[in-house]
């Protein structure tokens, strides 16, 4: 199947009674309906189904929006005048978050293996250079290894809620100098900062977040993958999974950040500012997220990759995993060797970063 609308809501709900928000049909539908993904965007959806499970992937004509970088691999193919695109990539589009790639109530190896057989048959019988599963779960790793995929490691920064009662309770677990710095960074006497979620979310908030998203795109000279309709849809249909943090001055919005959440985790996604205020990025993207996680008793706040400044604010480096297969045997061998070397570098980087966490030694 090439469109999510071909899968009934009832069947999806049966396969996924509980999920992280990015696996909800409403999230993936919003991406398709807004044309944030699709053949014109270089993300052609492809769904392999059976009565008890589903595997999602995308035929990609580029490597944008993946966060596990293979640009060097594409360049190497080009140097040998070999096509790297199209390729198959399975992940939540434009979202660096670990999820199951098999939609089913509970991961079952036999069901996943049958879906993988269908996937491999499609992969082998079409002109696709390679197969990539990004941000895979650890329980999926044996299945991909058994299908000749090489496991690659990367890392992100996550905050763990150790049953803190309040944000101040969390600060008491930090070294005094670090806690003092955070308290100073949170001082915004001239701003109103609001956490808005659930039924309090409106179309106005969706419009504001889209404009903030565009402001970040402009600053970074990036590509606006997400379309305005995407924000309108998710703010309407996923109210109970969205947190919008809004900063205003004199009743005028100046910055904001968008999070998604379920009953276990908070996921930091997008941020933007129409006016520059010192430390406001830390407040809206990190401290408000930590505070919300504590208030809602969420276990983990995933702040994504990049940004070593997250370490001093209590976010720990956490491994993530991906799986890769290259059809060209020589390239597959060379890339597997590269991944082995990269894994050692990731290990040493995580060890070094962990030395700089701000927690008291007794914690």
Q: Domains along the chain?
A: 4-157+317-354 (3.40.630), 162-298 (3.40.630.30)
Whether residue 16 is predicted with pLDDT greater than 90 in this model: the reply is no
pTM summary value: 0.95
pLDDT given for residue 163 in this prediction: 96
Q: What is the mean pLDDT of residues 278-291?
A: 97
Distances from the Cα of 154 to the Cα of 67, 95, 128, 200, 338, angstroms: 10, 15, 24, 37, 13
DSSP state of 174: B
Residue-wise pLDDT tens digits, 62-78:
999 999 999 999 999 99
Residue 198 tokens read as 């659930």
Residue 363 has pLDDT above 60, yes or no: no
Contact between 29 and 56 (Cβ < 8 Å): no
Average pLDDT over residues 307-330: 95
Nearest to 158 by CA among 258, 293, 45, 24: 293
What is the structure's pLDDT at 246? 98
Beta bridge partners of 43: 38, 60
Distances (CA, A) of 64 to 75, 190, 225, 229, 309: 14, 39, 9, 20, 25
Helix (H, G, I), strand (E, B) or coil at 354: helix
Distance (Å, rounded) from C-alpha 126 to C-alpha 136?
24
Q: What is the pLDDT of residue 329?
A: 97
Neighbours of 223 (CB within 10 A): 11
| Full DSSP string of 122-139 | HHHTS---EEEEEEE-GG
Query: Angle of helix 203-220 relative to helix 228-237, nearest 10 degrees?
Result: 140
Residue 47: closest CA among 105, 100, 1: 1
Q: How confident is the model at residue 278 (pLDDT cuts 50, 70, 90)?
A: very high
Q: Does residue 3 register a pLDDT over 80? A: no
Phi, psi of 353 (to 5 degrees): -60, -40
User: Mean pLDDT over residues 244-262, rounded?
Assistant: 97
* Strand 53-60 relative to strand 102-103, pairing: antiparallel
pLDDT tens-place string over residues 186-217? 999 999 999 999 999 999 999 999 999 999 99
At residue 307, the pLDDT reads 81
């Amino acid at each position: 199947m090439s469109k999510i609308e071909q899968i009934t809501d009832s069947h999806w709900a049966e396969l996924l009674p509980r999920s992280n928000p990015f696996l909800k049909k409403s999230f993936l539908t919003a991406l398709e309906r807004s044309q944030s993904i699709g053949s014109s965007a270089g993300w052609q959806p492809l769904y392999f189904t059976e009565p008890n499970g589903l595997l999602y992937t995308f035929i990609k004509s580029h490597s944008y929006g993946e966060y596990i970088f293979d640009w060097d691999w594409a360049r190497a193919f080009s140097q040998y005048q070999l096509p790297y695109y199209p390729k198959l990539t399975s992940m939540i589009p434009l979202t660096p978050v670990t999820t199951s790639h098999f939609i089913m109530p509970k991961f079952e190896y036999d069901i996943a293996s049958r879906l993988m057989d269908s996937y491999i048959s499609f992969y082998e019988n079409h002109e696709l250079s390679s197969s990539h599963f990004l941000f895979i779960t650890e329980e999926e790793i044996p299945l991909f290894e058994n299908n000749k995929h090489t496991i690659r490691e990367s890392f992100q920064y996550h905050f763990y809620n150790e049953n803190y009662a309040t944000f101040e309770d969390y600060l008491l677990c930090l070294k005094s100098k670090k806690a003092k710095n955070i308290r100073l960074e949170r001082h915004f006497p001239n701003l109103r900062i609001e956490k808005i979620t659930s039924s309090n979310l409106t179309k106005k908030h969706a419009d504001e977040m889209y404009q903030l998203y565009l402001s970040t795109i402009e600053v970074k000279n990036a590509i606006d993958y997400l379309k305005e309709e995407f924000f309108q849809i998710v703010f309407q249909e996923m109210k109970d999974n969205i947190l919008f943090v809004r900063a205003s001055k004199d009743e005028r919005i100046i910055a904001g950040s968008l999070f998604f959440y379920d009953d276990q985790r908070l996921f930091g996604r997008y941020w933007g500012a129409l006016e520059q205020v010192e430390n406001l990025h830390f407040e809206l993207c990190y401290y408000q997220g930590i505070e919300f996680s504590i208030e809602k008793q969420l276990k983990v706040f995933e702040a994504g990759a990049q940004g070593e400044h997250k370490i001093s604010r209590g976010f720990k480096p956490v491994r993530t995993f991906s799986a890769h297969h290259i059809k060209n045997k020589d390239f597959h061998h060379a890339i597997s060797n590269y991944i082995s070397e990269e894994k050692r570098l990731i290990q040493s980087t995580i060890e070094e970063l962990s030395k700089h966490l701000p927690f008291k030694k007794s914690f």
